[in-house]
Amino acid sequence: MRKADHPLFLERESYRRRRLMDAARVAPVITAFLFCFPLLWVGREDVPTTFAIIYLFSVWLVLVVGAYFLSRRLRDMPGRTDRTRR
Amino acid sequence: MGMLNVLVAVSLAYVLFLFVVAFLADHAAARGHAKWLQSPLIYTLSLSIYCTAWTFYGAVGYAARSGLEYLTIYLGPSIVMIGWWWGLRKLVRIGRSQRVTSIADLISSRFGKSNSLAVVVTVIAVVGTTPYIALQLQSVTLALEAFAGEARTSAGHNATALWLAAGLALFTVLFGTRNLDANERHDGVVMAIAVEAVVKLLALVAVGLFVVWGIAGGVGPVMEMISQSEIAVWQVSSGRWAGLMFLSAAALLTLPRMFQVLVVENEDERHLATASWAFPAYLMAMSLFVVPIAVVGLELMPAGANPDLFVLTLPLSQGQDALAMLSFLGGFSSATSMVIVAAIALSTMVSNHIVMPIWLSSQGASAMVAGDVRHVVLLSRRLSIMGVLALGYFYFHATGGGEALAAIGLISFAGVAQTLPALLGGIFWRGATRVGALAGLVTGFVIWGYTMFMPSFGPDVFFTQDVLDHGPLGLVWLRPQALFGISGLDPMIHALVWSMSLNALFFVVASLVSFPTPLERLQGAQFVNVFDHSARPGVWSRGAAEAEDLLVMAQRILGPADAQALFRSEAASQGITGYLPQISPEFLQRLEREMAGSVGAATAHAMIGQIMGRASVTVEDLMAVADETAQIMEYSNQLEAKSAELVHTTRQLRAANEKLTQISHQKDAFLSQISHELRTPMTSIRAFSEILRDGGTLELKAQEKYAGIIHDEAIRLTRLLDDLLDLSVLENGQVSLNMRGGTIASVLDQAMAAAGAENNPMRIRRSGAREDVRLFSDLDRLAQVFINLISNAQKYCDAKSPVLTISVREVEGQLVVDFTDNGSGIPKASQEVIFEKFSRVGSDQAAGGAGLGLAICREIMLRLGGQIAYLPGQGGASFRVTLPDALEMAAQ
Amino acid sequence: MGKRVLLIEDEPNIIEAISFILSRDGWDVDTHANGRDAVDRVKERNPDLVILDVMLPGRSGFDILGDLRNQPETIDLPVLMLTARGQTKDREMAKRLGASCFMTKPFSNAEVLDIVRSLVEGQKAAS
């Protein structure tokens, strides 16, 4: 059911803003998934520690850089927009 | 031993340096030059207290023993930080809007400002954190011993820890309890821990670089060494990997010290955005060199060397004393910053939720009127800080700094994580209730204690080996490390799964079956919908409290300056001049929040409740809770706003009308007053001049006396005419001001001399050096105002031994001079009109005065660009003279 | 003569002046400076005449006059009202309440003496 005060189409800018917030919400899920990925190696005896180190730190670095760009765009957004989650 | 002495000297110098940093930062913040202190960078660095000595030393040991598992401790928080938009942002917003002082305060506030809940959280926090503090003391002690190169006697061991604990207590008391309002940040402490954050990162990275390039010879060779080492192959239990990640993520939110820096000390919500990537980056840098150091340590150090100290012993064994010293400072920084913040956080909780409620109930209703509550709060905080550090020390002393401590980090995490369901449930689920939170917390805490905390001391402290193996009283299903017969699990995971799952289960089930009180529902709505600005906070309905009573109480908790500023700004926003606003529910809400910043939500609520006589939630307030009626609510809100506006306007109109009527009565009385004031002296003059004229048998002495009376009365007449003229000139704005520079002190001296203060029984207390303020104004006119106030006090103060206190201070950037006596003050009905012409308090005629003095004072201050007002709620009569922008004027 | 006058007035200089004028004329002058217990004072002293100021600390002269006129022992006592406000309103008020005479400050000494004498003598003649 669509409420009257929620228009079907948004301006391009607000549309982008909402997708950005979606990205912010997905970010921790992706992070958790990537950090839990090594669980697939459990039981195998052939994964060297050096590989695990390289994997984990690379993922970590990528996430930090991703979070940096995301946060710069999110920082100046007013909290009020969060209402759209409803 | 020479090396050790140098080390001690360097450490002391470092500590001194931290003191100076904290002092300068506090100083800068107090003078308002704190922009850079509140930068996102400092905020991020302050979060690094997550990395304690357990990280600095322990991570290497952990890696040497269990490979990459140590990384989970830093991956968990990274997930939380990267997901800030979901959780942390809400937490910080709630923390700021509700002026939360600690995690216990947040949970108590959410669930109907329940103090019992706050007590439970406080107990969990203290039990969970004390061993952790002991761990920090131990790490510094061990590091010192590593330097000394010999195991010292246990007496020396304890002495080091004791000195450290005492020093930290001193630092924390000095910089952690400067100001009362927890929402006024501890800038000094935050700055010091930010510096320490840099030092520990530098130290660990320096050791890492040295190990990789100085010893191993580059990245390639290090990788080679890792592949050759005991931890060459990925072997992590999946339960522990996921479990520890969850646990450390939870700990970031629930550790009292982390809550302190994340939420309470947060200056600006946008700092979180920076921290969301910068803090994971910091954690990554801290963990980067851990494995290389561990592997090289295992290779080079003799078998049996404690891997927990590789960070220190590795540079030492290579003869790199300076590097080792830096490394020691890094560890020292990690330990001290954690202890300081933990002590502040815990002491706030203990003081607000345990000491203050006990003190208040022991004082009964008199707590509101007797003494300055702020001193009690500060004292109880200081004692709590010392108490917390003493507990940490005794824990360290009792366990002898043995192996039991090494595992305490995770145990501590699991303990405080028990508050997670109540915390998350509280901010995301409106259905969560106090009963549910209490049930979950107690369940989780008990299971944690039984399955993790008590067994951690090993057999024969809490449990015998028999109980561990076969359960208490032979009940096998109650074995502490294999509840319900589920054995074979890792003990940590076992305890975590049982405590967290039963905690969450009890929380949810008890919330579902219980029914929340109205206050809980309101708070729930405010917390969960914190981003929804239209949620109207309305808890207090208008009661019978007098604004003056509230002001008296608020002054005792917030301090006079802040309380007066708050009351005046509220009054101003209602369109009323003076310090006593209308008691609206909105104002009570605001006042309660301000006070919560000092004494916690539950206590503030109770104190206002005591003055208001009742804590009432009206049906309209409850309407706000029901989201089903959101639209109706919106509409009725608008109506309500309009009607509130009407009520407000009516109130203002009525006040204006009352004043007008009063003034017109006074205008009427004006002529009759003038007539009286003129005719009275004239009567004496006429009578005595006739007597003298008639001559007769008057003695010379009598003649002189009568001539004297005529003279005095003529002067009195002149003075009256002068006053009248003065007033009329001032009122018409035709006065010319004689502006010149001088100090307040000299104007006051002049006024006291003119008022004959020396020969008057009234004692006058001045504020000494604070009067030494230069100002540029018409000093004679200013002195005229002061003379009037002093001689009024001399005339009207009815105390047995009258005292007038003249205090000069700065309030909201303006210089004010308060004249407060110890008499019975001015009744509220008269406070409104004392500045009108010919108004006298009561029916008593002042000796000699015509009732023009205060009217003239008001006009003078108006001309000088300042203000004079009656200040209610100060004990006696009190007048506040606000000087025109003193500092600016002085510069001219 | 030894006739007694009670002067109820709070301005010390005016007390002094009236006392002087009357005692020089042979009157026995008592003074009282506040309104609160003025009625008791009148009964206690039982004077032949009361000079009563309107603006007194504690209680207004009109109230005191009203009290005096409501009590049998003072109902006929001559009362000379003094006021510095000098409005007709006050004069009417004094008349209504039963003042024997009303004078506005400032007054001439001879005038006061005349009125005091005539009031006391008139009283004597009436009784």
Interchain CB contact of A61 with B (< 8 Å): yes
Strand bridging mode C101-104 / C49-53: unpaired
Residue B281 pLDDT grade (very low, low, confident, very high; cuts 50, 70, 90):
very high
Q: What percent of chain A has pLDDT over 90?
A: 1
Distance of alpha carbon B755 from the chain centroid: 43
Give residue-wise pLDDT tens across range B174-231: 777 765 554 456 778 888 888 888 998 999 999 988 888 888 888 788 888 887 777 7
Which among A39, A61, A80 has CB closest to B284?
A61
Which carries the bigger pLDDT value, residue B633 or residue B44?
B44
Q: B55 or B608: which carries more pLDDT confidence?
A: B55
When pLDDT is cut at 50, 70 and 90, the band that residue B544 belongs to is very low
Please state the three-class secondary structure of B218-279 as a single string.
Answer: CHHHHHHHHHHCCCCECCCCHHHHHHHHHHHHHHHHHCHHHHHHHHHCCCCCCHHHHHHHHH
The mean pLDDT value for B662-673 works out to 73
pLDDT band at C86 (very low <50, low <70, confident <90, very high): low
Q: Which of B700, B656, B18 is nearest to B336 (CA)?
A: B18
B743-759 mean pLDDT: 84
Instruction: Report, at the CATH architecture level, how domain B740-891 is classified.
Output: 2-Layer Sandwich (3.30)
Weakest mean pLDDT among B126-140, B312-326, B656-670:
B656-670
pLDDT in tens, B861-886: 888 888 888 888 777 888 888 887 65
Contacts of B885 (CB under 8 A, 6+ apart): B814, B865
Query: Does residue B447 sit in helix, strand or coil?
Result: helix
Phi and psi at residue B283, to the nearest 5°: -60, -40
Q: Which pLDDT tens digit goes with each residue over B818-860?
A: 898 888 878 777 777 778 776 665 544 444 556 778 888 888 8
Please answer whether residues C6 and C42 qualify as being in contact, where contact means their C-beta atoms are separated by less than 8 angstroms.
Answer: yes
Per-residue pLDDT, B878? 87
Residue B707 has pLDDT above 60, yes or no: yes
Residue bearing the bigger pLDDT, C91 or B667? C91
Using the 8-state DSSP alphabet, how is residue B477 labeled? G
Query: Chains A vs C: touching, with 3+ CB pairs under 8 Å?
Result: no
Q: Is the peptide bond before C106 cis (omega within 30 degrees of 0)?
A: yes
Provide the sign of the torsion angle of the four alpha carbons B140, B146, B147, B150, taken in this order: positive
- pLDDT, one tens digit per residue, over B61-82 is 888 888 888 888 898 899 888 8
Token digits of residue C99: 């003042």
- Within B733-770, residue ranges assigned H as helices are 744-754
Closest Cα in chain B to A52:
B234
The residues that bridge with C4 in the sheet, in sequence order, are C28
Q: What does the alpha-carbon distance between residue B498 and residue B496 come to, in Å, rounded to a whole number?
A: 6
pTM, rounded to two decimals: 0.63
* Contact between A20 and A73 (Cβ < 8 Å): yes
- DSSP 8-state assignment for residue B618: -
Q: Any idea what DSSP says for residue B215?
A: I
Identify the three-state secondary structure at position B34: coil
User: What are the pLDDT digits (tens) for B100-131?
Assistant: 888 888 888 888 878 888 889 999 999 888 88
* Top-ranked range on mean pLDDT: pick from B364-368, B416-420, B450-454: B416-420
Interface residues of chain B, partner chain A, Cβ below 8 Å:
67-68, 71, 75, 78-86, 89, 93, 223, 226-227, 231-238, 241-242, 245, 269-270, 273-274, 276-277, 280-281, 284, 288, 291, 531-533
Task: Give the per-residue pLDDT at A80.
Answer: 41
Q: Are the beta carbons of B531 and A79 separated by less than 8 Å?
A: yes
Residue A50 at interface with chain B, using a CB cutoff of 8 Å: yes
ipTM: 0.90
**Which of B665, B676, B844 to mutate: most C Cβ within 10 Å?**
B676
* B2-361+370-398 and B647-732, same CATH topology: no
Element housing B615 (H / E): none
* Burial classification of residue B698, based on how many CB atoms lie within 10 Å of its CB (0-12 exposed, 13-18 middle, 19 or more buried): middle
CB-defined contacts B:C, below 8 A = 69
- Nearest partner of B482 among B399, B490, B320, B841, judged by Cα: B490
Q: What is the mean pLDDT of chain C?
A: 85
Q: What is the pLDDT of residue B835?
A: 80
* Parallel, antiparallel or unpaired: strands B878-882 and B867-870: antiparallel
So what's the pLDDT on residue B890?
44
Contacts 24+ apart (CB under 8 A), B628-637: B634/B534, B637/B534, B637/B536
Residues in chain C whose Cβ is within 8 Å of chain B: 10-11, 13-14, 16-18, 20-21, 55, 57-58, 83-87, 104-110
Per-residue pLDDT reduced to its tens digit, C26-62: 889 999 888 888 888 888 888 999 999 888 877 888 8
Contacts of B391 (CB under 8 A, 6+ apart): B126, B130, B133
Find out whether B70 and B56 touch, Cβ atoms under 8 Å. Answer: no
Q: Which of B84-88, B666-670, B755-759 has the lowest mean pLDDT?
A: B666-670
Domain at C4-126, CATH from 3.40.50.12160, 3.40.50.2300, 3.90.79.10, 3.40.190.10: 3.40.50.2300
CA–CA separation, B247 and B249 (whole Å): 5
Check B79 against A64: CB less than 8 A apart. no
Burial B331-358 (b: 16+ CB within 10 A, else e): bbbbbbbbbbbbbbbbbbbbbbbbbbbe
CATH 1.10.287.130 fits B647-732, yes or no: yes
Question: At residue B392, does pLDDT exceed 80?
Answer: yes
Q: Given a cut of 50, is residue B387 above it in pLDDT?
A: yes
Q: First CA to last CA across chain C, in angstroms?
A: 18
**What is the DSSP code (8-state) at residue B318?**
T
Output the six-digit token pair for B90: 């809400």
Distance from C-alpha of B146 to C-alpha of B312, rounded to nearest angstrom: 8
Residue B763, strand partner residues: B803
| Yes or no, beta carbons of B223 and A50 under 8 Å apart | yes
Q: Which long-range contacts (CB under 8 A, 24 or more apart) does B6-12 make?
A: B6/B325, B7/B144, B7/B147, B7/B325, B7/B328, B10/B325, B10/B329, B11/B328, B11/B329, B11/B332
Q: Tally the residues of chain B.
A: 892
State which residue of chain A sits closest to B224, comparing Cα positions.
A50
Lowest-confidence segment of B382-396, B577-591, C76-90 by average pLDDT: B577-591
Write out chain A residues lying below 8 Å of B226, CB-based: 49-50, 53
SS3 (DSSP) at B497: helix
Residue in B closest to C14 by C-alpha: B684
Can you give the pLDDT at residue B618? Answer: 43
Which pLDDT does position B504 carry in this prediction?
92
- Closest to B737 measured CA to CA, from B861, B858, B835, B869: B861
| Lowest mean pLDDT, pick from B519-533, B630-644, C35-49, C74-88 | B630-644
Higher pLDDT, B724 or C29: C29
Q: Alpha-carbon distance B735 to A6, whole Å?
A: 63
Phi, psi of A75 (to 5 degrees): -55, -40
Q: Which residues contact C77 (CB under 8 A, 6 or more apart)?
A: C42, C47, C49, C50, C68
**How far is C102 from B771, CA to CA, in rounded Å?**
55
pLDDT of B812:
72
Whether residues B79 and A32 touch (CB distance < 8 A) is answered with yes
CATH superfamily entry for domain B2-361+370-398: Sodium/glucose cotransporter (1.20.1730.10)
**Confidence (pLDDT) at B33:** 63
For residues B638 and B140, what is the distance between their CA atoms, to the nearest angstrom? 62
> Which residues of chain B have a CB within 8 Å of the CB of A76?
270
- The alpha carbon of residue B600 is apart from the nearest alpha carbon of chain A, in Å, by 26
The answer to whether residue A85 scores a pLDDT higher than 60 is: no
Neighbours of B463 (CB within 10 A): 20
Q: Give contacts of A50 with chain B, Cβ < 8 Å.
A: 223, 226-227
The b-or-e profile of B568-589 (16+ CB within 10 A means b, else e) is: bebbeeeebebbbbbbbbbbbb
pLDDT number for residue B602: 65
Q: What is the mean pLDDT of residues C2-14?
A: 87
